[in-house]
Structure 1
C-alpha cells in the first residue's frame, strides 16, 4: 500500500520510560490518556526497551493539539514521534480504541513495525452498536454515573467502587470533550476492515483479551477479526481480568508483551 502523505502530522506529547535499544510506542484508550499505563512502569525492562507513552490528539500531553481525530491522523502523528526519536523500526502497542491506530500503522508503513500488540482492542471493522448501546456511550460524555457504570461493565461488575471513581477521574481530567466525541465516531463507524483483509499484514501481532471484558472485546470477537486478517497473529486471554490489564494485572501484561517483543527484536550486534 502506498504511504499516506504526512504533511499535517505533528509530534504528539509523550513520556519516555527506559533507555534500551528497542523502541516501543504505546497509545492511550478512549477513557483516558496514558496515565492508564502507569501501574506497569515499575515492572518494565528499562535496559532492553525505551517506551514512548504517546497521547493522541485531544488527550493528556496532546490535549491542546488541534486537528483530525481519526485513526489515520493518529497513525501519521505516531510515525512523526518515531522520527523525532530517531527510530527507524520499532514496536507498537494499542489499547482499546487505539487498536485501530496500530492497524492503520501496519497498513501505512509495515516495514517500520517490528511487532504489533493490541490490548482489549477495537479492530479495523469498528464496534457495531445498537442505538441503545450507542446512546449509553454518548451519555458518558456528560453523565458521571454513566462513566461509573461503564467502568464497572468493562470489568464484569467485579471490582470496587474506587475503581469506578478512578476511571471517572481520568475521564474528566485527561480528555478534551469535543475530541472524545469524534473518537467515538471513529471506533464505532470507521470500518476499514476490507483494507486490512486485502493487505493481510505479515507484521507479528499479539492480541490480548480479558476474560471479564464486555461484548465486542471477548476472545471469539477478536478471533473473528484479527486472527482472520493477520497470518502471523497470536491471541492470549488473561484470566480474572477485564478490559484494562495494564491496571488490573500489570505484572502479567508486562511479562506477556515484553516476551513477545523480544522474539521480534533486532539481533544484537556481533560480539555482544
Structure 2
C-alpha cells in the first residue's frame, strides 16, 4: 500500500490535510507557514504520486487512486476526523475523497474544478495533452497567460516550479484526469460544508461567477469567497489573508460540533 509523503506543521488536536495543484507541489503553501496556528491545528501538507516528497511513486493518476491514497494516509495517521484543503487539480480528488470517507469534516477548495472536470472540445483537449507531453513551451504559455500582472522573476519561479516539482508522467496523468473524468452525478451525496476561495484575477473558468454557477447546482452547503488581490495562487499572492480565512473556515465548522 502506498503511503503518500507529507510535511507536518503544528501539534494541535484538529487535523488538516492539504493537497496541491498541477504545476506545483505542497511547496506552494510555504508562504503561509508563519501565519498558521500550530498549537491548535496540525497540518499535513501532502504530495500526490509523482510530486514533491512523493515524486518516486508512480500510478494511474486518477481521482479514484488519488482519493484512496489520501484515505489510506488518514488511516495511517490514525485520524478520526480531518479537514481537507485542496487546490485546483486536487479539488476533484477532494470531492471524490468526500464520497468514500466519512471522516472528512469539511472541504476547503481553492480555485476549484467541478466533479465533471474541465470540459473542452475533443480536438482542443487532445492538443493540450499532446503539448504537455512534449514537455516544452506549454508550461511557459500557461504561466505567461496567468501572470500578466507580475514580474519576470515570478514567471521564472512558477515555470521552474512546474517543471521541477513533479514528473512529466504525473503532470500529464493528472491533466488527463481533469480533462476526461466526470463523476458529477455522484456528488449530491456530499453533505459536509464546502468553503471555496477564488482569485479575482484568475482565468475566467475559475471566476467566482462561473464557480458559483456550477457548485450551487451540485451542493447545498457551499460558501464562496473571492480574494481581491489574487489570481490562481492566493496562498502565495496573499498568504496572511489566506491563512486567516482557512482557519476561520475550520474554526466555524469545529465550533458547530
Of 170, 175, 195, the match for 1:179 = 170
Tell me by how many angstroms 1:141 deviates: 4.8
Q: How does 1:164-175 map to 2 (within 5 A)?
A: 164-175=155-166
CA distances 1:102-128 after superposition (whole Å, capped 9, x unpaired): 10011112x211111000111101011
Q: How does 1:198-209 map to 2 (within 5 A)?
A: 199=189, 201-209=190-198
Q: Hey, what's the Cα distance between the residues in 2 that align with 1:91 and 1:134?
A: 35
Aligned residue-pair number: 256
1:42 paired with 2:31, answer no
Q: Hey, what's the Cα distance between the residues in 1 that align with 2:195 and 2:133?
A: 31
Residue 255 of structure 1 is matched in structure 2 by 244
Residue 203 of structure 2 is matched in structure 1 by 214
Conservation of the 8 A alpha-carbon contact between 2:25 and 2:165:
yes
Tell me by how many angstroms 1:139 deviates: 2.5
Conservation of the 8 A alpha-carbon contact between 1:227 and 1:234:
no
Conservation of the 8 A alpha-carbon contact between 1:28 and 1:98:
yes
Residue 90 of structure 2 is matched in structure 1 by 98
Tell me by how many angstroms 1:223 deviates: 1.0
Tell me by how many angstroms 1:67 deviates: 2.0
Q: Hey, what's the Cα distance between the residues in 1 that align with 2:196 and 2:99?
A: 17
Tell me by how many angstroms 1:66 deviates: 2.1
Conservation of the 8 A alpha-carbon contact between 1:144 and 1:168:
no
Q: Point out where structure 2 has 5 or more consecutive residues left out of the alignment.
A: none
Q: Hey, what's the Cα distance between the residues in 1 that align with 2:130 and 2:80?
A: 39
Residue 117 of structure 1 is matched in structure 2 by 108
**Closer, same or farther in 2 for the Cα pair 1:253/1:138, shift >3 Å?**
farther
Of 214, 219, 222, the match for 1:225 = 214
Relative to the length of structure 1, the TM-score reads 0.88
Tell me by how many angstroms 1:267 deviates: 7.6
Conservation of the 8 A alpha-carbon contact between 1:14 and 1:52:
yes
CA distances 1:42-62 after superposition (whole Å, capped 9, x unpaired): 111101110000111111111
Residue 240 of structure 1 is matched in structure 2 by 229
Q: Which has the higher helix share?
A: 2
